Amino acid sequence: MMFEDAFGLKEEAGAIRAVVNKSLEQGIVTEDLAGKDTKAYKTSEVGDWLVANL
């Protein structure tokens, strides 16, 4: 929302939203979002994955 509302970067916001949705679909998540049968990744690992897939 910050990218869209504060900076007017709608395309960039869409790209970020898409890669976050992709990580959720593929189970690339931190411990707070992982289910009991889902591997939990470190915050830095998720961040690296997001950047690599952006």
Count of structural domains, the chain? 1
What percentage of residues in the chain have a pLDDT greater than 90?
93
CB 27 within 8 A of CB 39: yes
Q: Is the pLDDT of residue 1 over 90?
A: no
- Cβ-based neighbour number of residue 35 at 10 Å: 9
Q: How far is 18 from 11, CA to CA, in rounded Å?
A: 11
DSSP 8-class letter at 5: I
Q: What pTM value is reported for the model?
A: 0.86
Domain encompassing residue 44:
2-53
DSSP 8: -
